[in-house]
Structure 1
Amino acid sequence: MVAALIGGTAAAATWGDEDPPEDGGGFPAEQLTTMFQTYGDTSGTWLGADRTASVTLPDGRILWLFSDTFLGKPGADGSRPRTSGLINSSAITQTGAELGPLRYGGTSAAPTSLVPAGKDADFAWVGDAVVTGESVQVLVNRYKRSGAGPLDHRLTGTTLATFGLPDLTTGPVRDLPLGTRISWGSEVMPDGEFTYVYGTEVAGDMKFAHVARVRGTDLTQPWEFWTGAEWTTAEDKSARLISGVGTNYGMRKIGGRYVLVTHENNLTFSSEFVAYTAESPTGPFGGPHYLFTAPEVADGHIVYDADLHPDLARPGRLLISYNVNNLDEAVTYGDASIYRPRFFEIEWPLDGSSDEGPDVPEGLAATPDGAGVASLAWQPVKGDDITYRIYRRDISDGQTHFVRLVETPGGATSFRTDFLVNGHDYEFAVTAVDADGGESALSAPSTMRATVPPPSAPAAPQVETLPDGRVTIRWESIAFVQLFKIFHRDTTAGQDKAVSAGTYPGKSATIGPLSSGHEYDITLVAVGGGGDSKPSSPTRVTPIVAKPPAPGQPSAEARSDGSIRLTWPQVAPGLSYQVFRRDLTDGGDYGPPGIADGTTFGTGRLVHGHEYEFTVAAVNSGGVGERSPTVRATAKLAAPDEAPTRLKADPAAGQVELTWRTTGSNWYWIFRKDLTAGEREFTREEIPAEGTKATVHGLVDGHQYEFTVAAFSDGGVGPQSKAVKAQIPSALPTGLAARSDGPGAVIVTWKETRPGTLYRIQVRDATAGEQWQTDPFPVSGDRFDKTMLVGTHRYEFRIQLADGTTSDTVGVTVE
């Protein structure tokens, strides 16, 4: 189940004096960007996040959904403190012009992700959502880490989380019967009688869009997948729609046409956002139409995950969000404002200029020009101030549309381009652009196959140690190389082979923490279109890790199972903690510590009624830090609150065997009542039963009993089970008969019900009016012989058991 949603306590961010228009005119993009920046600076809970999906609720509120979310507030210098918590999903509600509260799982002292990852995943990222009936359904993708770098993860499945309306109460979370090729939930688009669910397939360096649909808006209904020609229930037949989409993208029907907006992923770490259009939800798609260039890329950041927000857009415009990050965590921690959504808006439909563009360039020829370079040349186009743009398509990767290269030849009619992949076939095209910005159609394409050698080995990196054992690595850029692999080898530990620390773009990365006092060799490998370079020369570094500071004040919660749950503020991400405990009631000292990987710790069952004291210390490779302030709590084990069920009784001679279904307790009391003896109250057995069965001895043969069972603990006795009755079988024989076969003699016979029983025979002379007399000698078997009786007298016989019970009477007249 989803962890309980709770509301953040921070103040909400508002527009201030400039509220959105009352006529539903929407929000300007700049103000939405400012709103989230303000909320991150002032809320005290939400410090920044990515994904940024929105869904309009029936009451008009907006539910914003986020994936990785930092918690807390920025430092005085605008940085993100290392103590900031990180959860993998969260939500914010927007009411009118007010943003907040933040919603997440767990508690304010120990927050957790809005949607848990599940057993097969390390974390879960939210996709898009849809309102259906009285609930919101959110698609969530589950992932496992596949390496040390920030981009190293693999899909393990898709989950559907449900939240009830209007209070967004938690509902069921169910794993959908979907595979691991496509991360579904990039976009959810209700349209007519269907809801279309878009997904993203990662194939090598390329990402492809897919689409499925359900009838209505309930995503638990059967899914159908588009094959390129028809709908099918077989997910493995799902066809690729277009290439170059992000993990998340926007798709909506606008003005009679379908518009798909995405970050341009046909190029690695592009700064461009583009749109494609189609006549149907399945395409085919025309485009791309270039919408916006993100300025953050020029500062070394990455941008990703576009989404459309039509319910918040101003008339005649597309309102689009995107996310910003930096793959060097030191940069992201240094400026808390980086990791927050941005918004831009574009007039739509795009202005189709009435002026015709210049002529289409002709004579384009693409030829290999040295290792890894394509040389392009074409004939000039008539006109003044004509410039050109270059477009490229990677045929080998299955790229569906041409993508515009960032670099341009200006007015030249030749161009050399790199960033090619060895052995791949490429198509190139060129357009002409006039002084008014009019652009021609694409030229006829020219095709070539790239031959790309690995890049040269990078120079030895520069390395800087940080106090927490992390290491910041900087390197010089290499032409036409966008990615670098970092490796470290612990020479102190005698490692023979370097260990990967991940793949990073840019010119710096921060890895670790590494072991304090150990000497490491740090090397770089450049990743180019021709593969990996040889490693750089190593740079040697010895991290010295300062012991972590003491955690803040812990809190302790006594639980009904007799345990105590501790929580405390995070000191820094990735630390473990030692938890120390002593029993104040017994006057004991602190024993060996427990170990916690996070900021919570459960003690297990403690002694009921004893008061305990706890303190916590953070641990890193530099050692164990100072201990936190102490906190005390008394262990209280509640009485069981569940009655045992399925109580059964199996009677036997003088005893009954009871069995029942466990409540989870180890010990139970047995209660009995002798109905035959007229008992009105249950009597508890003196010895408790362990487990789920017990044998009650010392019962009276032939008596009916009633039994009940109750679990107990140090906290008391729980409710009793439903009573069950049992009839103890009698040992009295049946078929008692007497006959006189000779003078003064009688033979008494019977049928034993319990062989081996000893009987006392009682006899009386009924004719003489005698009282019953008991024969002094017990007998066994099924016969008793009596002699020396008075002839013609009638004698009566009966059998008595050891417990005093007697059989029916039988009589005979003696010969």
Structure 2
Amino acid sequence: MKRLTLVCLCICTVLSQSIAQTKSVNLTDLKFTVEEAPEWSALLNRTNGWFGGDGIYTIPLNGVEGKHSKPNSKTLFIFSDSMIGEIRDNTMMPGYKMIHNTVAILNGNQPDAKQMEFYWDKDKKGEAESVFIPNTPKTDSSDYYWLGDGFVNQANNATYIFGYRVRNVSSGAFGFREVGNTFIKIAPGDNPPYTTIKQMDTPLYLTDGKNDIGSFGAGIFVNTKAAGAPKPDGYIYVYGVRGMVKSLLVARVLPADFENFKKWKFWNGTAWESDMSKAADVTTGVSNELSLSVLPDGRYALVFQQGGMSTTVGMRIGASPVGPFGPVIKLWDCKPDLVEKTFVVYNAKAHPTLSKPGELLISYNINSVEFIKDLQTHPNLYRPRFIRVKFH
């Protein structure tokens, strides 16, 4: 009994020290400059094959998320809705097609178009088709995938990507609705457009009494030694977004337990627990795609589009992967990209492995509420733009 009491006392002391250290972290002050990263924006300004898309995430294929990529590295880019076709004389040629997801692989760590290859599948007619098509027990025949974040799990060297099952609906503001959350698992050594894909429904999708949905996979932070994290605790942190107010949720799991949903824990604001419904809103006003990465000084940078869809690329400084998070720091105003009143901006996130030391490369997406009409006159509007934040 004395030994148990001593162990409990030690644990409580460590937790108290940790909480005290967390509360003492400066969450407001940050010295930085920011500028466009035109060479990265130009990488995705294309006129043949893939010429537009959103939902961009980048996954280092060596699994090292916490360090800058090397010249011999390979990075997997994943996109959601993508345009396939040809642009000639600033006009889309007949035969263009939108598919729901694509991928690309960049060889090296520089924005060199010659070192980047895009991939999509083909249907029975030989036309462009999505790389990933839902095929799980809960899938309806009309469902399609938009993609969340992904990572290489060094426990088994498989690549995991969150797949959001989306369904077109007649009600609602946007005409579509997320109806489920899945894992897409790619076997080690498989190459796009992939032949050894395993899909599985996950419980990481929730609704409340008002039918306001939440889902995990908006961002992943791999806080392990193998991934090169500077302060590893061995866990994979997975971020979710809930409701119209865009509340941030946090879950975590050990790499070896990633497919064992009984081992997942959810942050309730003060502790980790198994009940996902008790996950706390650790902050609000984020976007459905975002990122968490480590700043040069050891604090954490939560990067997002403020409010989900606005002209502000925002950052909140975190004391830990679960916060607390400070006020929004405005990094960039995207208004100059809105050359038409119908253009919209959304889903900013950082790409730390493609960033230079002391910097953070950030992308945001451009779209239009009159999509095809605006593409007729601005065929390259629908693609990510990049900025570069330099810390001082």
Partner of 2:310: 270
Whether contact under 8 Å (1:150, 1:327) holds in the other structure is no
| TM norm structure 1 | 0.37
Q: Secondary structure at the match of 1:155?
A: strand
Residue by residue over 1:283-330, the C-alpha shift from the partner in whole angstroms, topping out at 9 and shown as x without a partner, is 110021110011213532111111111111122111100110111120
Residue by residue over 1:90-145, the C-alpha shift from the partner in whole angstroms, topping out at 9 and shown as x without a partner, is 10000124443222233581332121134335321000111013221101111222
Whether contact under 8 Å (2:267, 2:279) holds in the other structure is yes
Q: How many residue pairs end up in the alignment?
A: 314
Report the identity percentage: 27
User: Is 2:75 aligned against 1:69?
Assistant: no
TM-superposed CA distance for 1:263, in Å, is 0.6
- Higher RCO (CA-CA < 8 Å; seq separation 6+): 2
Partner of 2:118: 102
Aligned pairs (5 A) from 1:264-303? 264-265=306-307, 269-294=309-334, 295-297=336-338, 299-300=340-341, 301-303=343-345
Alpha-carbon distance in structure 2 between the residues aligned to 1:230 and 1:66: 34
Residue by residue over 1:728-776, the C-alpha shift from the partner in whole angstroms, topping out at 9 and shown as x without a partner, is xxxxxxxxxxxxxxxxxxxxxxxxxxxxxxxxxxxxxxxxxxxxxxxxx
Stretches of 4+ moved more than 4 A in 1? none
Whether contact under 8 Å (1:130, 1:217) holds in the other structure is no
Alpha-carbon distance in structure 2 between the residues aligned to 1:334 and 1:82: 14
Aligned pairs (5 A) from 1:224-623? 224-255=265-296, 256-265=298-307, 269-294=309-334, 295-297=336-338, 299-300=340-341, 301-329=343-371, 330-348=373-391
TM-superposed CA distance for 1:50, in Å, is 0.2
User: Is 2:204 aligned against 1:178?
Assistant: yes
TM-superposed CA distance for 1:254, in Å, is 2.0
Partner of 1:31: 39
The one-letter amino acid paired with 1:309 is: H
Aligned pairs (5 A) from 1:771-782? none
Q: CA, structure 1 residues 195+99, in 2 after alignment: closer, same or farther (shift >3 Å)?
A: same
Alpha-carbon distance in structure 2 between the residues aligned to 1:333 and 1:122: 28
Q: Equivalent of 1:130, from 151, 172, 192?
A: 151
Whether contact under 8 Å (2:182, 2:200) holds in the other structure is yes
Alpha-carbon distance in structure 2 between the residues aligned to 1:99 and 1:326: 29
Q: Secondary structure at the match of 1:286?
A: coil
Alpha-carbon distance in structure 2 between the residues aligned to 1:81 and 1:237: 51
Alpha-carbon distance in structure 2 between the residues aligned to 1:202 and 1:69: 26
TM-superposed CA distance for 1:36, in Å, is 1.0
Q: CA, structure 1 residues 167+123, in 2 after alignment: closer, same or farther (shift >3 Å)?
A: closer
The one-letter amino acid paired with 1:60 is: S
Whether contact under 8 Å (1:195, 1:217) holds in the other structure is no
Alpha-carbon distance in structure 2 between the residues aligned to 1:146 and 1:124: 15
Alpha-carbon distance in structure 2 between the residues aligned to 1:280 and 1:176: 26
Q: CA, structure 1 residues 249+82, in 2 after alignment: closer, same or farther (shift >3 Å)?
A: farther
Partner of 1:46: 50
Partner of 1:91: 103
Alpha-carbon distance in structure 1 between the residues aligned to 2:94 and 2:256: 42
Q: Secondary structure at the match of 1:299?
A: coil
Alpha-carbon distance in structure 2 between the residues aligned to 1:182 and 1:164: 28
Whether contact under 8 Å (1:51, 1:67) holds in the other structure is yes
Whether contact under 8 Å (1:197, 1:211) holds in the other structure is yes
Q: Secondary structure at the match of 2:86?
A: coil
Alpha-carbon distance in structure 2 between the residues aligned to 1:334 and 1:147: 28
Q: CA, structure 1 residues 333+147, in 2 after alignment: closer, same or farther (shift >3 Å)?
A: farther
User: Is 2:134 aligned against 1:117?
Assistant: yes
Aligned pairs (5 A) from 1:701-712? none
Q: Secondary structure at the match of 2:203?
A: coil
The one-letter amino acid paired with 2:120 is: Y
Whether contact under 8 Å (2:205, 2:216) holds in the other structure is no
Alpha-carbon distance in structure 1 between the residues aligned to 2:289 and 2:256: 20
TM-superposed CA distance for 1:270, in Å, is 2.1
Partner of 2:187: 164
Q: Secondary structure at the match of 2:95?
A: coil
Alpha-carbon distance in structure 1 between the residues aligned to 2:295 and 2:283: 19
Residue by residue over 1:767-798, the C-alpha shift from the partner in whole angstroms, topping out at 9 and shown as x without a partner, is xxxxxxxxxxxxxxxxxxxxxxxxxxxxxxxx
Alpha-carbon distance in structure 2 between the residues aligned to 1:220 and 1:106: 30
Whether contact under 8 Å (2:247, 2:281) holds in the other structure is yes
Alpha-carbon distance in structure 2 between the residues aligned to 1:345 and 1:207: 25
Whether contact under 8 Å (1:325, 1:332) holds in the other structure is no
Partner of 2:91: 79
Q: CA, structure 1 residues 240+155, in 2 after alignment: closer, same or farther (shift >3 Å)?
A: same
Q: CA, structure 1 residues 251+112, in 2 after alignment: closer, same or farther (shift >3 Å)?
A: same
Alpha-carbon distance in structure 2 between the residues aligned to 1:33 and 1:185: 25
Q: CA, structure 1 residues 91+150, in 2 after alignment: closer, same or farther (shift >3 Å)?
A: farther
Partner of 2:61: 57
Q: Equivalent of 1:219, from 246, 258, 264?
A: 258
Alpha-carbon distance in structure 2 between the residues aligned to 1:85 and 1:228: 45
Whether contact under 8 Å (1:82, 1:333) holds in the other structure is no
Q: Secondary structure at the match of 1:166?
A: coil
Moved more, 100-109 or 46-55: 100-109
* Higher CA-based Rg: 1
Alpha-carbon distance in structure 1 between the residues aligned to 2:274 and 2:99: 35
Q: Secondary structure at the match of 1:151?
A: coil
